[in-house]
Amino acid sequence: MDFILIDGSYGEGGGQILRTTLCLSAITGRAVHIENIRARRKKPGLAAQHLTAVFAAAKLCDAELNGAELGSRTLRFAPRIKPRAGEYRFDVAEARRGGSAGAVSLVLQTVLLPLALAEGDSCVVARGGTHVPLSPSFDYLHDVWLPYLKLMGVGAELSLERTGWYPIGKGEVRLEIKGIPSGGRRKLHPLKLEDRGELIEVFGRGLAANLPEHVSQRMAQRAETLLRRKNMSCRIDAVPVRAACPGAGTFLVARYERALAGFGALGERGKPAEQVAEDACAKLLEHDHTSAAVDEHLADQLVLPCALADGESGFTVDPMTRHLATNAWVVERFGIAEVELISTSATAGLVRVFPSP
């Protein structure tokens, strides 16, 4: 069989190589063979979140699977049909005995584009971690990532049914996706975002689950105090919620005239609520000091949709990360686009994506 070979140890060598590969395999119908999955992680191979993404992507396009098990370092994934619109439910906890708080955001990012480019509407309900380390929080997906995808022509709505925190997870997110009409165009609009304009405001929330109400209030107040001290207009809400286990975090969005950027910090046992807010603010202020249009995480997440657009995209970012370079490499392996990463200073850069005709 003709398949694309992907080396999972390339560059960052993490789970994103796998997810981008799954997404593009489903969209293009090309079979893939991935080796050295998550080779640069402490515990290489498929973890619960990755395995859930594999099963989710396979479900959309009825893919033939080989190596889809926990800890597996190789995977063969061969779509049998075009992604099919429909109702889907995925639960990260089912991928591992004893459950998992693996990030639902990463699973949703894997299935959104194949379904947005499929004929007909879909609804995906995903259960797992909604605010967990090293992944986009629900707030980030909702406030930053999805608005950009909408700008590129994706019709989708996200809602949070229940938050899920480490180590139990059990949060739930619903994603409604508008597919394309029968015979419609399977392309997104390009994104041009080199100049972000002036900062308009910062908004966000201090979110605390199963903790005394003052925790969310202290995060919100501390964040507002710090941001106002920098003369930023801001509105940070205190949001107490219930969940399967305690958790807390501060999630902020910097809204510029033409851009959005998201930052967050998670609480942990022994870390004062004020410190959580300060960590989130520090990340936002660091970004604000640059002139980059998108934040470092969004940059790697935009490469894939930009590769599926019907024209050239460009955006500025600071810093350019290894995640970004690695995702650019995966996209190029599929031959669907060329990605140029142009350094404009020691850390900053301009990303240009040229989809193949």
Ligand X SMILES: Nc1ncnc2c1ncn2[C@@H]1O[C@H](COP(=O)(O)OP(=O)(O)OP(=O)(O)O)[C@@H](O)[C@H]1O
Q: Which residues are annotated as a binding site?
A: 109, 297-301
> Residues with Cβ < 8 Å from 59, sequence gap 6 or more?
88
Select which of 131, 142, 287, 323 is catalytic.
Answer: 323
287 assigned to active site: no
Identify the residue among 8, 45, 114, 264 touching ligand X (CB under 6 A): 264
Find the residue with minimal CB distance to ligand X: 15
Question: Near ligand X by CB under 6 A, which window of 83-91, 186-194, 201-209, 295-303?
Answer: 295-303
Q: Are 103 and 132 in contact (CB under 8 A)?
A: yes
Span of 130-138, 146-154, 251-259, 312-320 interacting with ligand X by CB under 6 A: 130-138
Number of residues that bind ligand X (CB under 6 A): 17
Nearer to ligand X, 136 or 190 (CB): 136
Q: Which is nearer to ligand X, 41 or 189 (CB)?
A: 41
Q: How far is the CB of 215 from ligand X (least distance, A)?
A: 20
The distance of closest approach from Cβ of residue 42 to ligand X in the complex, given in angstroms and rounded to an integer, is 8
Kindly indicate which of the ranges 77-85, 216-224, 296-304, 308-316 contains the residues binding ligand X, using the contact rule CB under 6 A: 296-304
Q: What is 55-105 written as a DSSP string?
A: HHHHHHHT-EEES-STT-S-EEEE--S----SEEEEEGGGGSTT----BHH
Query: What mask of x and - would describe binding to ligand X in positions 8 to 47, judged by CB under 6 A?
Result: ----x-xxx---------------------x--x------
Who contacts 82 (Cβ-Cβ below 8 Å, separation ≥6)? Answer: 29, 61, 118
How far is C-alpha 273 from the geometric centre of its chain's CA atoms? Answer: 25
Amino acid (one-letter) located at 19: R
Complex with ligand X: residue 190 or 264, whichever CB lies closer: 264
Residue closer to ligand X (CB basis): 35 or 119: 35
Which 190-229 positions form the footprint of ligand X (CB under 6 A)? Answer: none
**Structure tokens, 140:** 């980030």
Helix intervals (H) in the chain: 15-28, 48-61, 104-116, 138-140, 146-151, 213-229, 273-289, 296-307, 322-333
> Which part of the chain contacts ligand X (CB under 6 A), choosing from 69-77, 88-96, 160-168, 297-305?
297-305
Q: 3-class DSSP state for residue 296?
A: helix
Q: Which of 301, 308, 330, 349 binds ligand X (CB under 6 A)?
A: 301
| Pairwise CA distance, residues 297 & 313, whole Å | 17
Chain residues 41-80 in contact with ligand X, contact rule CB under 6 A: 41, 50
CA 252 vs. chain centroid, Å, equals 16
Helix (H) or strand (E) holding 355: strand 349-355
**Which CB atom, from 13 or from 179, has the smaller least distance to ligand X?**
13
Our CB check for ligand X shows the closer of 30 and 38 to be 38
Binding region for ligand X (CB under 6 A) out of 134-142, 219-227, 250-258, 274-282 = 134-142
Residue whose C-alpha is closest to residue 234's, from 288, 187, 273: 288
Alpha carbon 294 to its chain's center = 14
Contact pattern from residue 95 through residue 114 relative to ligand X, giving x for each residue in contact according to CB under 6 A and a dash for the rest: -----------x--------
CB-nearer residue toward ligand X: 123 or 285? 285
Q: Within positions 315 to 334, which residues make up the interface with ligand X, using CB under 6 A?
A: 323
Cis check for the bond before 79: say yes or no (omega within 30 of 0).
Answer: no
CB atoms within 10 A of CB 187: 15
Q: Residue 18 and residue 6: Cα distance in Å, rounded?
A: 9
Residue 315 C-beta: closest distance to ligand X, Å: 14
Q: Is 131 in the site for ligand X (CB under 6 A)?
A: no
Q: Token pair of 111, please? A: 């299935």
d(CA 327, CA 10): 10
Please say whether the beta carbons of 46 and 71 come within 8 A. yes
Binding positions for ATP are 109, 297-301
Active site residues: 323
Which spans of this chain sit near ligand X (rule: CB under 6 A)?
12, 14-16, 38, 41, 50, 106, 134-136, 140, 264, 297, 300-301, 323
